[in-house]
Structure 1
Amino acid sequence: MAMPVLRRIIAVSVTAVVVASLAWAAPAMAGPSVTAAPSAPAAPAVSTVTTGSSILTAPTDCANLPARAATLARTSGPGTATCVRENGRAAPTRSTSERAGVMSTPCGSNSWIATRTTICGEESFQLVVFTVPQGVIVGTIDYGVRVEVMLSGRSDRWDTYVRFTGYRGAGAIAGTTLNAVPLCGQMCSYLSSPGITTLFGPGSVVPGAASFSSQYGGPYVSWQSSASWQFTFSNPAWTPPISNSLSITPPAHRCDDALPGRPVGCTVAFVEPTHTISSLAHPTYARHIGLALNFGLPSRLTRTTDGTRNESNRRIACTDPQGRPRPAGFSCDEYPFASTYEGAASHAYGRTFFILGGINGGGQGFSCQVPWLQPRRQGDSGGYSACMIPDWENTDAGSLLGLFYYDNRVIDRDMFRIRLV
């Protein structure tokens, strides 16, 4: 999937007036028989989208300013001009403060970092003011830009947040103003989109926010949506009084109307979500899944929303050819899940678990009470698994799996992972 990144569009022009160096004087701005041991709770799956040395696609250096200034002088005469370059240091990756008006998310420096429902990128840059035709630097502002996108699997609305932080500055920068506006990109409609116009310099922390919705792409399909922030710096002492335009465009996310019985929602499709199963909340269910995984059944599965295939998976895994009665209070659980392409219908055989206690009766035995399938033996990592587990566990675990699919927009043929804790 093509993923757009931060882009810079350079368009500098100048008119006559030479600006002398000014000091910054303005105030600061504001084993197989046992399950795996429990581990720490899972953090959200994170994917890094590397975009090279800068999260901006266009070159950002201000090299050979005399030559650039001389060229500008021939077309526009003397004055001042601006350019942007990388700051030479990574932007701070501290948690976003309430003052900035945005949420704390995993955020990358020189790259985008994404979870299933967030995208975040941050980097430091320097705005350079230089004279034309001399090419002498007369002012600089070191600043950072952080952009976040917040999505919901239950809604086609998404929110974007931006934060501009002024770190240092000197020279001809007094009276500099930051101007920023949110822009719709692919399959996008505005909900709220206030722009930013404010004085900016060392010590400034300027937040911005905008809300969008995805234009509807149709039933049972998915589509890409995106939005961006475009900004400039301006100063009446510069000629021209406005800098080049910068455009920040996070990677596009996916919206869909592809979950039967659910409304439209949006997620980051290139991040595989992880479904966490708790051995404390659902001990028998987790024991079955843990044994299946320990014997080599896959922990990475593929969702299917085909109701006919789901029913076939359940029927094959949980039908006793002899029709024997089920244990009271128990129901049949299958792994891989019936809602996956790896379910029972894709296998030639199935197995169950019957584990005796250890030597002299010690250890923890386990019986799945599935007499129509052979117990799985060491080295057998094929087929599917079936096990009787308490009704309440089966019902509860199934509901949680359904909510996981919903919140993470796990649609047909999406991959996801299983983790036990």
Structure 2
Amino acid sequence: MLAAPLAPQNVAQASTASPGKSASVSPALLPSTEQHPILSMVKASPAALDSGDCDELENKRHDLVAAGKDVAACVTYGPTRRVRTDDMQAQAILPVPQWCLDSALDGNWYGFREEACTITGLKVSVRSLPNNAVIGEMSFNEYRFTYGSSTSVTVAQQIQLSMYDGWGQIAGTTVGGTAQCTGACTLVSSDFPIQPVTLSSRPGGEAYLRTTQTAAGTRSTMEGVFKHRFFNPSWNASGGATTELVSEFPTIRCDNSVPGYSVPGCIFPDWAGVYTYRLSGPYAELAEHIRDAQQSGLPGAFPGTGPNTAPLTRLVDPMLQNRNRAKACPTSWPRPEGRSCDEYPMASTQQGAAGRTATGRTFPWCSVSALPTGVTGPSGWSSCMIDEVQNSNGGSDMNVFLYQDQRILDFDKFYINIAP
């Protein structure tokens, strides 16, 4: 899915509001309304069920019948089903973002640096133990959505269930659970009360996690889960409940380690950072150079926009950055009036010129006579003389809106997206 490109935003101040229900959360913690360049994915399958799933129930069936039990329920993860597009919007704790609803219903996590989502299928089977017959079923889409802010140390997580099919001995079923967090965190709040399960209800819960490490120079991770069960008093063989489901969420990294930036915050490190330059924007020449460099085969092109989608990785060592600049843009090269030398990959990346054994390249419009044109391939670097104001301001904006705002630390991955 290709959406509108990501536009720079002002860096928000760290939130000091106390977390609570979604309606009272500080705006700094709310999911961004900004459109993202493209939906990226991390292959993260749902957690396996604890003991007591349908296979184990089958193994215990004869013993349960001998003990006088006749009805049990078990729950398994299964395929999702595409239902109406507004399935989770009307009564949601917070509306599930449209990019999530548009994603593949495959149980994988989709997301960005500050928000992530998965839609997973669940099926509850009610069984008559004496004849091993299925006497009821409930089919669900389970929506997990988590969001935070790169300038907040609190992250929200929510889970919701939408039953789209059900029949048989299921009347009176409820669901409820609790949240937990592990790592350098504290669970600020957890709210997943027992709620009825019907075709028209949207039971769910929300939790807020906060990192316990915010001092300068720190870096830590935390992870949250929801544990929940389905209940029905008629399921006497299983104690009136299914096995406990463990719904996991992506790892959260919190830090106060961004160079030159003293604001702590949290992001989802499984997703690379993305920064967009526009060919028609204030940095048109800078964007044109990066586009030409990427199309010639150099890394860092956003997936779907160039031949080499290997991400760039950040380099924070100033001395190594200077070496990259010195090789890609020697001071002996003449600079046309009003222009300065731009290098790609940038000096602030591990892919910078100093570590490359291949030759550099340039393009006919770049006014660099010391390097050849027409060079292609993934090795080397590119140099170009571009408008000096664009070069300076474009680099400063990238530092704020990528390195700082998306908390890109040393060796973190990111892409440069070039938009029309």
TM-score, normalising length: structure 1: 0.74
The whole-number CA distance in structure 2 between the counterparts of 1:216 and 1:350 is 44
The verdict on how the C-alpha distance between 1:85 and 1:349 changes in structure 2, with shifts beyond 3 A counting, is closer
Aligned length: 362
- AA in 2 matched with 1:127: V
Deviation readout 1:269-309 (Å, 9 max, x if unpaired): 23333332211112211222233334443334221011222
- Is the counterpart of residue 71 in structure 1 residue 71 in structure 2? no
Q: Paired residue for 1:265?
A: 265
Shift, 1:412, TM fit: 0.9
- Is the counterpart of residue 301 in structure 1 residue 300 in structure 2? no
The whole-number CA distance in structure 2 between the counterparts of 1:394 and 1:126 is 55
Q: Paired residue for 2:71?
A: 80
Shift, 1:252, TM fit: 2.2
Q: Which runs of 5+ in 2 are unaligned?
A: 1-34, 301-310
Q: Paired residue for 1:245?
A: 244
The verdict on how the C-alpha distance between 1:58 and 1:179 changes in structure 2, with shifts beyond 3 A counting, is closer
The whole-number CA distance in structure 2 between the counterparts of 1:244 and 1:295 is 55
Shift, 1:218, TM fit: 6.6
The verdict on how the C-alpha distance between 1:230 and 1:317 changes in structure 2, with shifts beyond 3 A counting, is same
Shift, 1:232, TM fit: 1.4
Shift, 1:198, TM fit: 1.5
Q: Which moved more, 1:215-224 or 1:312-321?
A: 215-224
The verdict on how the C-alpha distance between 1:235 and 1:45 changes in structure 2, with shifts beyond 3 A counting, is closer
Where 1:401 maps in the other structure, the secondary structure is: helix
The verdict on how the C-alpha distance between 1:70 and 1:218 changes in structure 2, with shifts beyond 3 A counting, is farther
Q: Which runs of 5+ in 1 are unaligned?
A: 1-40, 356-365
The verdict on how the C-alpha distance between 1:89 and 1:119 changes in structure 2, with shifts beyond 3 A counting, is closer
Q: Paired residue for 2:346?
A: 337
The verdict on how the C-alpha distance between 1:139 and 1:352 changes in structure 2, with shifts beyond 3 A counting, is closer
Q: 2:414 aligns with which of 382, 400, 416?
A: 416
Q: Paired residue for 2:8?
A: none
Q: Paired residue for 2:4?
A: none
Q: Paired residue for 1:113?
A: 109
Q: Paired residue for 2:41?
A: 47
- Is the counterpart of residue 254 in structure 1 residue 253 in structure 2? yes
Cα contact 1:317–1:386 (8 A) shared by 2: yes
Shift, 1:202, TM fit: 2.5
Q: 1:179 aligns with which of 169, 176, 179?
A: 176
- AA in 2 matched with 1:379: V
The whole-number CA distance in structure 2 between the counterparts of 1:139 and 1:290 is 57
- AA in 2 matched with 1:245: E
The verdict on how the C-alpha distance between 1:404 and 1:173 changes in structure 2, with shifts beyond 3 A counting, is same
- AA in 2 matched with 1:404: L
The whole-number CA distance in structure 2 between the counterparts of 1:146 and 1:309 is 45
Where 2:250 maps in the other structure, the secondary structure is: coil
The whole-number CA distance in structure 1 between the counterparts of 2:366 and 2:37 is 32
Max Rg structure: 1
Q: Paired residue for 1:374?
A: 370
Identity %: 25
The whole-number CA distance in structure 2 between the counterparts of 1:87 and 1:162 is 17
Deviation readout 1:179-217 (Å, 9 max, x if unpaired): 122222333212232222222122222243222112328
- AA in 1 matched with 2:289: H
Where 2:91 maps in the other structure, the secondary structure is: helix
The verdict on how the C-alpha distance between 1:85 and 1:295 changes in structure 2, with shifts beyond 3 A counting, is closer
Shift, 1:64, TM fit: 9.3
- Is the counterpart of residue 387 in structure 1 residue 379 in structure 2? no
The verdict on how the C-alpha distance between 1:397 and 1:350 changes in structure 2, with shifts beyond 3 A counting, is farther
The verdict on how the C-alpha distance between 1:161 and 1:336 changes in structure 2, with shifts beyond 3 A counting, is same
